[in-house]
Structure 1
Amino acid sequence: MKSKKINILCSTVDRAGQNIKEHLLLKGEWEKAKNLPEAWEELAGVYENKDYRIIEIDQHHIYQDRIDQKMKKYGFDTDLIIVASKHKSSDGRSVLTAHFTGNVKSADFGGKPYELSVASPGIMSSILKNMQTQAREANYEINMESTHHGPSDIRIPMVYAEIGSGEKQWSDPDAGEIVARSILEAEEMDLPVAIGFGGGHYASRQTKLLLEEDIAFGHNFPDYQLADIDKDLIEQAFLKSGADFAYFDRKSMPSAERERIREIIEELGYPILREGDIKELKGLEWDRFLRIRYMAEKLCSGGRFRITDRLRSQYLNSEGWVQEGNNLKDSEISSKLVQETFSADRGSLLNTLEELPLVYIERDNGTISNHMIIPAEHVKITMQDITNECIKILKEHYEVKYAPQENLLYIVTERFSPMMAKDMGINPGPLYGKLANMETVTVNGKTIRPDMVHERKIKEIPLTNSPNNPTRS
């Protein structure tokens, strides 16, 4: 079945739209329709090529509710409308934007109150990324805008691609060229889709995530609209965006509104992902990611999971990986071993974990959970590797002994004792620092060695795995 052409809508009263149209017509061969349907009075022109159709009207497109139905009625049926338009702002910034349409409380600029258009997140993501690539040499910002203005009564996906923010930019041929190419080179991107909450009209944090991570955004509600959105509108946003999860620009959201919206989203059955979660999505199928997230939350509620590059490249992206995640297993290592290693050398512990095929979890306080997620067929050897590397790290800081019969590890620590120093007749002061740094000092003609004022303690660590080549007692 032949696919329908993509309709690019522009208006004769929109200078930026005309600029984009002029550059579209310079690319490839376009045929101008000679006989326009007389009944469509505002139709000013139609241009077609193999894959696209430019539809030009002499009224502003933001007031064109149901224009998709009008297109179909007059023989210009399509599954996607891209609107070439201007973006207007009093600050006069040079910016290229894309966004979806719809209204929250009022409909002062087209559309209807509390109605959202059907979004095309994959296409908008592609357009914005194309803009970013094309505009590297131009002095233009790239931004996803929050949902605003009409039309809202549209039954097929629609996305606006815009030049902003004033007469100078609207007529800029470089901007017209960039947006025209970004539209023609746009491809549907199959990515997990978020509904955004918070931030300003220019959704800067959402834009950054869209451009840098493997996600797309559907409708987005800025912080100044949050008090006016309700359950029905939130559900409408998810359904009309085909969204998978929600993202909060948390710092910009009033806490009461954030909590209210969180409860609605959870009631609707959608997850809310933090920025750290989204970064872990890179390169993963959505179902695989959800499985790992579910397992991590079950093991350490509220923690932040980290998928190591080795697990991601060797297992999660391989064709042989079981999609349901049944070959991933939660594994537990000695909590005391992890705790002592973390305290001794956090950086070395994290480097060790990053070199292994696993998922580890950071608690809210920054410490590392002793629960790991590991491919089932590699649990034994990976746990063995973690144990060995932790012992190696501890040996760099402490005296370490291993009792194989009990499978216990002993670490011997020495710490400067102010009380022992005081008993030796040393008053608090610079000498304490020298002794703590293992320097010998002289007090009243008496030599005081560091070992004389250091307290020796032995900590016992039960192991869940027997180490290879341990330091034996």
Structure 2
Amino acid sequence: MLAIVVSRADEASEHVGQRLLELADWTESTDDSRADADGGGTVYRTDGIELREFDALHLDLDGVAAAFDDPDLLVFASRHAGETDELLTAHHTGNFGAAEFGGADGSFARACPNAHRRVVESLTEHAPDGYEVGMECTHHGPTDVGVPSMFVEVGSAAPQWRDPDAAEAVARAILDLDGVAPDTPREDGSRRQLLGIGGGHYAPRFERVVRETDWAVGHVAADWCLDDLEEWAETDEQRRTVLQRAVEASGADFALFEGDRPTIAADLETLGVRVVEETFVRETTGVPLDRVAALEADLTTVGDGLRFGDRASEAEEWSVVDLPSDLLTEVSGIDDEATRRQVERTALAFVTEQNGTVVTGPFAVPAAAGRGPLVDALRDILERKYDSVTRDGDELVARETAFDPSLAETAGVPEGPKFGRLAAGEPVEVDGERITPERFQRERIRRFEL
């Protein structure tokens, strides 16, 4: 069940609440067990959703989930204040350091990364013209909510808080969360969820991840949050304890960094959290995490150049094979993009160098087919340059008939433009004699051992 918190102390929250009541078919009931100021009084319910109103500001509402009937997810409809003009935003709550605006020091509410990803998508769909949609770092309370939760906000000043179109956009985005799970599904014991480390308050890198990959982001510690943590924590152990809480509250086994924080990275590794780069997040999108782990164990890590083919997500066994470096160099020289496409089409995964741009192998190929389809695909590229390419046992034999400058030089053809014309297959005239290129062609054979 989705719980929605509306604060009467928040002008924008009240306007969003009004739009929520207009957009759905609600049943009203009275809860006399709680004071009206604390979410009692009139309660609004529709299929899978319950809305309650409170007098206090959201960040002062500790344990607020207890007011609702067994929710799975809770959303605070709220305002955003800042120098960001027209903005719709969503974020999780907590404090990496001292609690200046609600909640407890070094503590976090349970995040809802999957629902957060969905609400960013929905805000983008419903946003009025002129409004940007973004996400923020973790920067205020409450930290004791009771269920996974987040703020969904209208910003950034009174004209926007009173804008009926902005209020409706937030209301529609909240209603879109009906039935959405707080977390991504488990895969091999892990979830596709990240703790965000570093960057600015509005977290553009983590927003890109949410929008462009199948990963979700829990708590985000912007650079200023980490500064607060290091200032507040009196010991290394206290700092690690806060990070452990952030990891657990994010439901994350991975941390994505922006910037360079070696101490924080070392802390997270000590806590058993894998620190990854954005490349890892993008390259593993669509690939089951258990498959990622197995292929990394057999080949190398994504950070060290592992890349995935089109069939990486298919449930099939694989074999690890090599190909000769001279063959890979030759086909890449003929058509680098086609080589990459053929490798991606036939291999489950492969190793690269130079930031993923140069294919080197080894390769994980379907065990049933072996490396035959991969070799055949590369042979097709060789045939663009060579007259013939044949398979001879464990070799690819490439033959071409080409201009041999040494033969032309022996025959007295002067170097220069005439060499070029002969190489291009055109006849030339030397001392009044017409000379055809066939006289200076020689068969070349290249053998690529497989």
Place the TM-score, normalised by the shorter chain, in its bin: 0.7 to 0.9
Using a 3 Å threshold, how does the CA distance of structure 1 residues 436 and 404 change in structure 2: closer, same or farther?
Answer: closer
Using a 3 Å threshold, how does the CA distance of structure 1 residues 168 and 433 change in structure 2: closer, same or farther?
Answer: farther
Which deviations, in whole Å up to 9, do the C-alpha atoms of 1:87-112 show, x marking residues without a partner? 111232x2211110111233222223
Aligned to 1:190: 184
Using a 3 Å threshold, how does the CA distance of structure 1 residues 194 and 406 change in structure 2: closer, same or farther?
Answer: closer
The 1-side partners of 2:405 and 2:145 are apart by: 75
2:129 aligned with 1:105: no
The 2-side partners of 1:89 and 1:424 are apart by: 81
Name which of 341, 356, 362 aligns with 2:346.
356
The 2-side partners of 1:450 and 1:260 are apart by: 68
Conservation of the 8 A alpha-carbon contact between 1:417 and 1:455: no
Q: How far has the Cα of 1:34 moved from its partner?
A: 6.0
Name which of 458, 461, 467 aligns with 2:448.
461
Aligned to 1:234: 243
2:137 aligned with 1:134: no
Name which of 76, 82, 90 aligns with 1:83.
76
Conservation of the 8 A alpha-carbon contact between 2:3 and 2:68: no
Q: How far has the Cα of 1:448 moved from its partner?
A: 9.3
Task: Name the SS of the counterpart of 2:346 in structure 1.
Answer: coil
Aligned to 2:235: none
Using a 3 Å threshold, how does the CA distance of structure 1 residues 401 and 125 change in structure 2: closer, same or farther?
Answer: closer
Aligned to 1:466: none
2:4 aligned with 1:12: no
Q: How far has the Cα of 1:17 moved from its partner?
A: 0.5
Which deviations, in whole Å up to 9, do the C-alpha atoms of 1:385-410 show, x marking residues without a partner? 22223223223223556583673535
2:304 aligned with 1:302: yes
The 2-side partners of 1:277 and 1:247 are apart by: 9
Which deviations, in whole Å up to 9, do the C-alpha atoms of 1:410-442 show, x marking residues without a partner? 566969989x98x989788x8887787677777
Task: Name the SS of the counterpart of 1:48 in structure 2.
Answer: strand
Aligned to 2:280: 277
Q: How far has the Cα of 1:370 moved from its partner?
A: 2.7
Using a 3 Å threshold, how does the CA distance of structure 1 residues 436 and 88 change in structure 2: closer, same or farther?
Answer: farther
2:63 alignment partner AA: I
Q: Where does 1:157-236 land on structure 2 (aligned, <5 Å)?
A: 157-186=148-177, 187-188=180-181, 190-191=184-185, 192-229=192-229, 230-236=239-245
Q: Where does 1:21-100 land on structure 2 (aligned, <5 Å)?
A: 21-26=17-22, 27-33=24-30, 35=32, 37-38=34-35, 43=39, 45-50=41-46, 51-64=48-61, 66-68=62-64, 72=66, 78-92=71-85, 94-100=86-92
Task: Name the SS of the counterpart of 2:79 in structure 1.
Answer: strand
The 2-side partners of 1:289 and 1:215 are apart by: 14
TM-score, normalised via structure 2 length: 0.81
Task: Name the SS of the counterpart of 1:262 in structure 2.
Answer: helix
Name which of 384, 401, 404 aligns with 1:396.
384
The 1-side partners of 2:403 and 2:257 are apart by: 46
Q: How far has the Cα of 1:239 moved from its partner?
A: 0.8
The 1-side partners of 2:99 and 2:348 are apart by: 50
The 10-residue stretch of structure 1 (223-232 or 13-22) with the greater mean CA deviation from structure 2: 223-232
Aligned to 1:265: 268
Using a 3 Å threshold, how does the CA distance of structure 1 residues 200 and 457 change in structure 2: closer, same or farther?
Answer: farther
Which deviations, in whole Å up to 9, do the C-alpha atoms of 1:224-243 show, x marking residues without a partner? 33445443222221111111
Conservation of the 8 A alpha-carbon contact between 2:50 and 2:68: no
Aligned to 1:470: none
The 2-side partners of 1:141 and 1:6 are apart by: 25
1:113 alignment partner AA: D
Using a 3 Å threshold, how does the CA distance of structure 1 residues 286 and 431 change in structure 2: closer, same or farther?
Answer: same
1:305 alignment partner AA: R
1:203 alignment partner AA: A
Task: Name the SS of the counterpart of 2:300 in structure 1.
Answer: helix
Instruction: Figure out how many residues of one structure are paired with residues of the other and give that number.
Output: 428
The 2-side partners of 1:424 and 1:262 are apart by: 69
Which deviations, in whole Å up to 9, do the C-alpha atoms of 1:314-356 show, x marking residues without a partner? xx35xxx37xxxx232222333222221122112212322433
The 1-side partners of 2:157 and 2:166 are apart by: 12
2:364 alignment partner AA: I
The 1-side partners of 2:395 and 2:116 are apart by: 58
Q: How far has the Cα of 1:86 moved from its partner?
A: 0.4
The 2-side partners of 1:226 and 1:139 are apart by: 32
Using a 3 Å threshold, how does the CA distance of structure 1 residues 170 and 412 change in structure 2: closer, same or farther?
Answer: same
Q: How far has the Cα of 1:49 moved from its partner?
A: 1.0
Which deviations, in whole Å up to 9, do the C-alpha atoms of 1:9-31 show, x marking residues without a partner? 12112111111110111211231
Which deviations, in whole Å up to 9, do the C-alpha atoms of 1:45-97 show, x marking residues without a partner? 54231433322222212133x333xx53x6755443210100111232x2211
The 2-side partners of 1:221 and 1:10 are apart by: 26
Aligned to 1:374: 365
Which deviations, in whole Å up to 9, do the C-alpha atoms of 1:351-395 show, x marking residues without a partner? 32243353233322521023221232222xxx2222223223223
Aligned to 2:110: 118
Task: Name the SS of the counterpart of 1:396 in structure 2.
Answer: coil
Using a 3 Å threshold, how does the CA distance of structure 1 residues 176 and 275 change in structure 2: closer, same or farther?
Answer: same
1:47 alignment partner AA: V
The 2-side partners of 1:115 and 1:208 are apart by: 26
Using a 3 Å threshold, how does the CA distance of structure 1 residues 18 and 451 change in structure 2: closer, same or farther?
Answer: farther
The 1-side partners of 2:424 and 2:264 are apart by: 54
| Percent identity (aligned) | 27
Using a 3 Å threshold, how does the CA distance of structure 1 residues 91 and 48 change in structure 2: closer, same or farther?
Answer: closer
Aligned to 1:336: 326
Conservation of the 8 A alpha-carbon contact between 1:46 and 1:53: no
Task: Name the SS of the counterpart of 1:13 in structure 2.
Answer: coil
Aligned to 2:189: none
2:243 alignment partner AA: I
TM-score, normalised via structure 1 length: 0.77
Name which of 133, 145, 167 aligns with 1:154.
145
Q: How far has the Cα of 1:294 moved from its partner?
A: 3.5
